[in-house]
């Protein structure tokens, strides 16, 4: 495992034990850091390389990937800027660690910026697992996502992400050509064993 501050984001990198496996880009939720999703990544893709950056925005002392104006109300100008910064970091890391395009695995705030990267810089990612995601940008940019696989896992009891916003994200990505599997689980905003099981099964097919 490598901790690095030499690239544009502080991050952790875990080399692959099977280089044929697609690497995972792990994107934490609000208040998380580059360590948070490593256990999840190791559980769902135990032989894959893991790239886990820390969000560069601080809200009340807690890292995030972009600013928000209120719960569920995003600063879209900042989101666009940070999505491009994250895409640039992924390219830096690919060059530094000799990686192919990763599959994003994001939770909450991390899932939202992953969805924004898909729409703004689709060449950055080979796919995405979006856990508790909502529509990141009210006006979806034109993007060609033809054939890009996306798994969206929502919580039926989630007080933060309304069903309509998750369904709208799925529809938006499908219209752009992504191959979207959207499932709603009987849980809230927190992750469950079902999230891990479904994510691992989906990744095993890549």
Nearest-angstrom CA–CA distance, 113 and 65: 7
In the prediction, which pLDDT does 140 show?
A: 84
Average pLDDT estimate for 74-103: 97
- Per-residue pLDDT tens for 166-177? 999 999 999 999
Q: Does the pLDDT value for residue 1 go beyond 70?
A: no
The CATH number of residue 158's host domain is 3.40.50.1820
- Per-residue pLDDT tens for 32-56? 999 999 999 999 999 999 999 999 9
- Per-residue pLDDT tens for 136-155? 999 888 899 999 999 999 99
Q: Does the pLDDT value for residue 11 go beyond 80?
A: yes
Which pLDDT band, with edges at 50, 70 and 90, does 5 fall under?
low
- Per-residue pLDDT tens for 156-205? 999 999 889 999 999 999 999 999 999 999 999 999 999 999 999 999 99
Q: How many domains does the chain have?
A: 1
Q: Which residues contact 12 (CB under 8 A, 6 or more apart)?
A: 1, 2, 3, 4, 34, 35, 38, 50, 51, 52
- Structure pTM? 0.96
**What percentage of residues in the chain have a pLDDT greater than 70?**
98
- Per-residue pLDDT tens for 60-72? 999 999 999 888 7
Report the catalytic residues.
108, 158, 189
In the prediction, which pLDDT does 69 show?
A: 87
For all residues of the chain together, what is the average pLDDT?
95
In the prediction, which pLDDT does 174 show?
A: 97
Q: Domain limits at 129?
A: 2-204
């Amino acid at each position: 495992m490598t901790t690095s501050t030499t690239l544009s984001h502080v991050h952790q990198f875990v080399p692959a034990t099977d280089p044929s496996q697609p690497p995972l880009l792990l994107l934490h939720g609000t208040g998380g850091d580059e360590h948070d999703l490593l256990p999840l990544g190791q559980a769902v893709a135990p032989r894959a390389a893991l790239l886990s950056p820390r969000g560069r925005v601080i809200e009340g002392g807690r890292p995030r990937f972009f600013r928000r104006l209120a719960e569920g109300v995003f600063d879209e100008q900042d989101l666009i800027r940070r999505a491009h910064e994250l895409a640039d970091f992924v390219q830096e890391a690919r060059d530094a660690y000799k990686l192919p395009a990763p599959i994003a695995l994001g939770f909450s705030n991390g899932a939202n910026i992953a969805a924004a990267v898909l729409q703004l810089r689709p060449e950055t990612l080979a796919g995405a697992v979006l856990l508790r995601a909502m529509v990141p940008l009210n006006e979806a940019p034109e993007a060609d996502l033809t054939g890009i696989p996306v798994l969206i896992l929502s919580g039926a009891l989630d007080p933060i992400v309304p069903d309509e916003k998750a369904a709208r994200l799925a529809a938006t990505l499908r219209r752009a050509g992504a191959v979207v599997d959207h499932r709603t689980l009987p849980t809230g905003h927190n992750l469950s064993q079902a999230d891990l099981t479904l994510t691992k099964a989906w990744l095993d097919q890549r």
